Structure 1
Amino acid sequence: MSDPTARTLALLSLLQTHRMWRGADLADELRVSERTVRRDVDRLRGLGYPVDAEPGADGGYRLAVGAHLPPLLVTDDEAIALTVGMRATALSAIEGIEDASLGLMAKLDDVLPDRLRRRIDALQQSVEIMTWSNEAADIHAADLTVLSQGCRDGEEVRFTYHRRDGEESSRLVEPHQLVAAGRRWYLVAWDVRRSDWRTFRVDRMHDPTLAGVRFERRPLPAADASTFVRDGMQAMVAEHRAVLVVSASTEDLVALGHWVVSESAPTADGRSHVVVSGNEFGDVASKISFIASRFDVEIEDAPDGVRQIVAAVARRLSAGASLVDGPTRHQRP
């Protein structure tokens, strides 16, 4: 490979796999001498890419973590994944990250070749990203950074916490892991002052800071952090509930999962009384809609807010069904 620019980009692409490359192997891949490889490595370092070199038979070259972010070289598939991922990130609940994501998408769009832009446009037009709730409060990306550092380094974290009932308290915790559930983020941590494992909603935290004290990691009383959060949510008394009559046996309802059905009991006519609950009207309505997609459902008792959401969903589904069943439906020849 005689073109120095093309050769340097090819070398960068190989090094970005983060494996240790022997000089001879790089020379074979690039069809040049090892001396040329050393010269191209120096050129990359001059451009800001930190390339480590280790001597000896087991040594070689590896791209290291740098003090600043140099330009990246990505493949076609990586560019598509990055663009689609940024679109999903723009819908997250992290405050300020939407603008950063949209800015990055705009920069990528400026440099993408037409063949990739067409593939990405087709993919984005075919995929709709659904968010489960619009009521989740935004959180600060800086807060997530502090909490993730505490989890990674085993360092205690202080913050002020606002509970659902409005009570405010100062907390000192040993952070274990962050868990993302839809548009909400939770921290699983050992509460130092209460000597117990707790789950904290990140959007209810204020001013989390590293406390400067390291701790020995404790075994979590669950298979993993996601399971711990899920079990805690199921055990929590929900703010809203609805009572349904469902044309299914209690055995059939078990297959829906405990996250959908809070309680169930058989009726005399072979149906079931079902209780669904949630902390938001949308949570309860989504569970009712989920059940109704499989069985006939009658709402015996529910808050007006839940009934309104379910009615709106039913109207949209009815309108969609009329379009599908109408005379304009495409017929296969």
Structure 2
Amino acid sequence: MADFETVLSTSARLLRLVSLLAVRPAWTCGELAERMEVTERTVRRDVARLRELGYTVDSDPGPWGGYRLRPGTRTPPLILDDEEALAVAVGLREAALSGALGGDQAALSALLKLRQVLPRRVAERLGDMDDAFVQTPRAAGEPQVAAGTLLELAAACRRGERARLAYRDWEGRASVRDVDPYRLVHTGRRWYFVARDVERGEWRTFRADRVERVQPTGRAVEFTEPLPDPALLVSRASATGPYAVLATVRLSVPMEQALRSIPATVGLHRADGPDATVVEIGGSTTEGLARYLFSLATPLRVLAPDSVREALLRRTRELLAANEEAST
């Protein structure tokens, strides 16, 4: 992975350098180093590499000299050989699936662009590697998303084109619906596809691992303001449903501390004064939800429903009785 990161970082830096040279008549070496957050030595080495790749970069000597693209010169595309292109594609793929490079959405977008221009021989090699790769689950039983599905969803968001989505919900029910793609959201555990459901006229979140097919319709989409916060939509959907049991609890800690105990992807939070937080949280069973709340080891009070409060009290009494017996 280190080699992939090095190639990816160098290619991204060269693209950044070309874009800077293209938007201003001249740059000093120091200015470029500051903008790119690298050393002047790195700038000089990158300029030499651009010249090897066919970019016409002129330079002026002296302390106030600098670099510029020769007037009238057409900027050629960045050139990668087969091995470099394959290394970048694999690195981007792993970054998108694992978060190794930090920017999942950017990695997906870059991988999508790269795969569209890869030579056939390189694309076939990448496909062979995709078939051979096996990614270990992040958690027991956690479903994984195929890289191809993520690319299709990312492409749908980039195109701004209505799509026909074949989807299977949490109960296994299959449906086909027209959606207006908007964003992909990664929570650290799962990928979610945020889109507007055309028939229902409302924003929805779809788990990417349950998407079976994405088919473009050729119809352009124009969103009107205000647009929703995709991360907030996913957070709400993850925290409140679909669950058999929903509870409201009050934690006797500030919002920041409450979010460390119950993440935003697990519950919906609202401040109740400066020193308390009310959280809505869901679970599959009353006992399971009570067990989760008990494990938080945080002062809290169950506001609703009574069944969860009673289950939590019962668990507390059992623990107290067990310890009283042990002390006699």
- Give the structure with the larger helix fraction: 2
TM-score (norm: length of structure 1)? 0.49
TM-score of the pair, normalised by structure 2:
0.49
